Amino acid sequence: MSLQLDRMEIEEEGRDDAVRLARAIHKQLGPLSGPVPVHDIALALDIVEIREEELDGFEAALITQPERDIGSIVVNLKSDRRRRRFSLGHELGHFLQADHVLNQPDGFLCSKRDMVEQDLNAARYEVEANRFAIELLAPPEMVRPALRGFPDLDKAQRLAERLDLSFVAAARRYAELHDESLAVIICRDSVVSYMARGPGFPFLLAGRGSRVPLPASTTDRLTSMELVDPRDWLAKPAGTELSLQTLHQRDGHSISLLHAVRETDE
């Protein structure tokens, strides 16, 4: 039997808020034993068609009307499956948040960049659609078991497997929900392409496009968490102890986790 959800109740409880909407969906789904069935969820909420096509210049699209009776979603077949799951969640977010104004005559067209926007200066609807996607695909109760013990990228990697999320999305969520102050840095050839700070993590010195001192590369090997000089990383390094762990991937890509600990004042 296909999945049944009560859209009216979800929208009533969600009141156009990304977090509340995702929570209302999970309330109806109940506890899940595997990854969140985002495909079936979309189909149960008046998305009548989900197509996978090779797309150029954008990552996903939602075809709908301002009143959102029904919608169709297209996601980029050129991107890997986990990325497509996130894109699908993102477009479903635009569909369910009826206050999102269409950015095309017949819906929304979203780029790769749109899919990672988190900061408040970015387009608000994109930030909210991403918020919905991560809350839907990685709700706090499903992430919690990964948060025990010391921060470790290996745990984020296992979280990605368990929730069928991209490693970057899982690491970002891990940093966001962990009790410790964490940041995720994505680099190519030691140049920052993306960074996300968890709550309480101090301001970083480096921005997109700047070079950072990563440990020597050993492909597909996770380094251990090592103390680094906070002056290399933080805008205000005084009084903070900083550790870094890096996973070097193929073609110079890497993902790093920074862990900041405030030294207690005497």
Q: How far is the CB of 94 from Zn ion (least distance, A)?
A: 6
| Pairing mode, strands 47-53 and 71-76 | parallel
Q: Which residues lie across from 130 on neighbouring strands? A: none
Question: Which one, 110 or 143, has the nearer CB to Zn ion?
Answer: 110
Q: How far is the CB of 118 from Zn ion (least distance, A)?
A: 13
Question: Which one, 126 or 176, has the nearer CB to Zn ion?
Answer: 126
Q: How far is the CB of 14 from Zn ion (least distance, A)?
A: 17
Question: Which one, 60 or 204, has the nearer CB to Zn ion?
Answer: 60
Residue with the CB atom nearest Zn ion in the bound state: 110
Q: Which residues lie across from 204 on neighbouring strands? A: 234
Estimate the crossing angle of helix 18-29 against helix 124-137, to 10 degrees: 20
List of residues contacting Zn ion (CB under 5 A): 110, 114, 126, 129
Q: How far is the CB of 24 from Zn ion (least distance, A)?
A: 21
CA dist 3 and 137 (Å) reads: 16
Question: Which one, 110 or 146, has the nearer CB to Zn ion?
Answer: 110
CA dist 18 and 94 (Å) reads: 9
Which among 149, 186, 143 has a CA at the least distance from the CA of 165?
143
Q: How far is CA 11 from CA 21, 83, 93, 176, 203, in A?
A: 7, 26, 11, 26, 36
> 25 and 5 in contact (C-beta within 8 Å)?
yes
Which among 170, 172, 192, 191 has a CA at the least distance from the CA of 183?
172
Question: Which one, 90 or 173, has the nearer CB to Zn ion?
Answer: 90
Q: How far is the CB of 69 from Zn ion (least distance, A)?
A: 20
